[in-house]
Structure formats: structure tokens, C-alpha cells
Amino acid sequence: MAPSGPGSSARRRCRRVLYWIPVVFITLLLGWSYYAYAIQLCIVSMENTGEQVVCLMAYHLLFAMFVWSYWKTIFTLPMNPSKEFHLSYAEKDLLERESRGEAHQEVLRRAAKDLPIYTRTMSGAIRYCDRCQLIKPDRCHHCSVCDKCILKMDHHCPWVNNCVGFSNYKFFLLFLAYSLLYCLFIAATDLQYFIKFWTNGLPDTQAKFHIMFLFFAAAMFSVSLSSLFGYHCWLVSKNKSTLEAFRSPVFRHGTDKNGFSLGFSKNMRQVFGDEKKYWLLPIFSSLGDGCSFPTCLVNQDPEQASTPAGLNSTAKNLENHQFPAKPLRESQSHLLTDSQSWTESSINPGKCKAGMSNPALTMENET
């Protein structure tokens, strides 16, 4: 790699500054909306004191939660793969000497034999990042903007100038939820004064123009935010990321679009945690470590019957497989052993029962 000179360093600094423009725009818009609503609408235009108090109290609650969740989404650093996924110096040296092909894959297979990795590339190879020189954990992807591998990467969002992934996905969802509620509340309480604007029922002051533009902005953002928030709610219910919605994860048996789905309840708990009192707060409560994820799939050879005998036969065949069964990390395995119902309605109950009896075997059969 060619050494970076002063020119490339200056370009990188310029790009970093430009990346903050959308965040600055949202911040300025939020500041103006506060002035327009709290000052010009509530204090100047509202004549009923009770209405003023109720609107200001509800507004400030939504404003605080909106700013808090937005701040956490922006400034929570994305999590990167731990050191165990990085190749050693000897493995890197060996990998550089090998040409792309079976020998190259054999080096990666040996390095990944004890890692909780069950997804592959489209060609069935180990997922490896040349830039970061590491074996990618499941659901991890390299962000070209951050130039890093991000655990459970969803997408890089320019509006927060950050990667949305395992460490801040809950904050991003709450940011969408509170920003939508914020806009809907403003539009609903501003509507009657917006109508008065068109019927000449407002005094001829600068407040009337703030009231008009405030309603237009709130209504416009409500429409766009509702569709985006609804889409991410659907992703959470299916335990998918945006990247996985566009390209389904690939396991040893092939592509499976619902490979990580455990059922609605457990999918929600993976993102929001077990304690519901923290669900609505921008406090990290997601389950796991971002490197390993449970599934409830038990995939057998299509020619074998889905009977206990067939499952035992599959297990015997897997003994000589180059990827031995690797248990999930402790922080995630309880989702598989929980006594509650956790299967999707479309999944064969017999298969799920077999998978629950031996989570390690379940994981091996999925890869």
C-alpha cells in the first residue's frame, strides 16, 4: 500500500468535516423547531394557560427523549470484532504466501476452527476481511465509510454520521420512534393554529409564519419517519438487519433469509433486552456480545428423513466435518434453552425440539 501523503490526509479531514453536515442540519432544524413551538406557538400564540402548560410539558418530554436517543446514536462507537477473530502474525504471513484458492481457504479454516462462525460467503468460503485482516463474525460487515468491520452492521447512516450496528441499533430505533412522536405531536397541536393562519384568525406577527412552516415540516417528516420506523420494526420482528434484508445470510446448507429468527418475542429481546423497564430508554440493554447469534434451525440432508434416526445419522456424518460444533457464547445461549415458546409458526415443531435438545448440534447443522 502506498504511503499516504499530505494531500490524502487533507482529503480525509475534509471528508470528515463534510460527513457532519447532515447532523448539523438536523441540529439546526431541531433548534428552530424548539423556538417556533415553545416560544412562538405556546407562549406567544396560545391564550389558554392550561393548554400552554400541558403542551409545554409533553413537548419537553418528547424533546428530551428525542435529543437523548439521537445523541446516543451519534456518539456510541460501533463495536468491532474482538482480538480472537484477528489472524496471528504467523497466519497472516502464511496467508500472504498462499494464492487465492483452496490453500488460502485451508489457512482460514484452521484459524476459524474454534470460532463461533456459522455463515459463509455465497461460494461457501470463510468470510474474511482483507482490509482489517480478520475473520468476520456472523452478521459482521466492513463499512467503507468507517473503514472498519462493524458487528451486526445494519447500515451507515449519514444523518447520524455513524454506523448503525450492534452497539447502537437500539438507540437508532428509539431515535426513529421519538422523532416520529415528536413530529406527530407538533403537527397535531399546531393544526388548529395552522387552520387559523389560512382563515386570518391569527394576529399579523412573525409567529404566524413560524406556525405555518412548523406544521409543514412536522407533517413532512412524519410521513418519511413513519415509513422508515415501520420498516425497521419489521426488521426487528424478523431478526434481520438492513443488509440481510437485501442479501440473505448464507449458511453451510445454503441461503436462509430467516436463519437468525427465533420468533417475535425473542427477536425483540435480542435488541431491547430481557428487562422491559429499559426498553423505552436509550440505555444499552441488547443481549449478547455481537459476535455470536443463536438460531433455531436444524438442517438435515434433503435425502434423509426428519426422524431421530436421520438426525443421528446426520450427527455422525458431521463428526468428520472440518467445522466442529461450536457452542454459542454464554450471553446468547440462554435464548435457545429458555423454556418459553420461541419458534416461528412456519417452522417444523419436531425440528425445533431436536435443536433445543442439543444447541451445539443445532449450530453445527446450520453452518
Cβ-based neighbours of 230, under 8 Å, separated by 6 or more: none
Which amino acid is located at 346 in the chain? S
* 158: β partners: none
| Whether residue 146 lies in the annotated active site | no
Largest Cα–Cα separation, the chain: 83
Check residue 123 and report its DSSP letter: T
- Neighbour tally for 140: CB within 10 Å: 26
Q: What distance in Å separates the CA atoms of residue 93 and residue 103, rounded to the nearest whole number?
A: 13
* Active-site annotation holder among 55, 140, 149, 157: 157
| 233/240 Cα distance (integer angstroms) | 10
Element (H, E) at 250: strand 250-251
Quote the cell numbers at residue 257. Answer: 433469509
Residue 98, burial from CB neighbour count under 10 angstroms (0-12, 13-18, 19+): middle
Start-to-end Cα distance in the chain: 35
Residues tagged active-site = 157
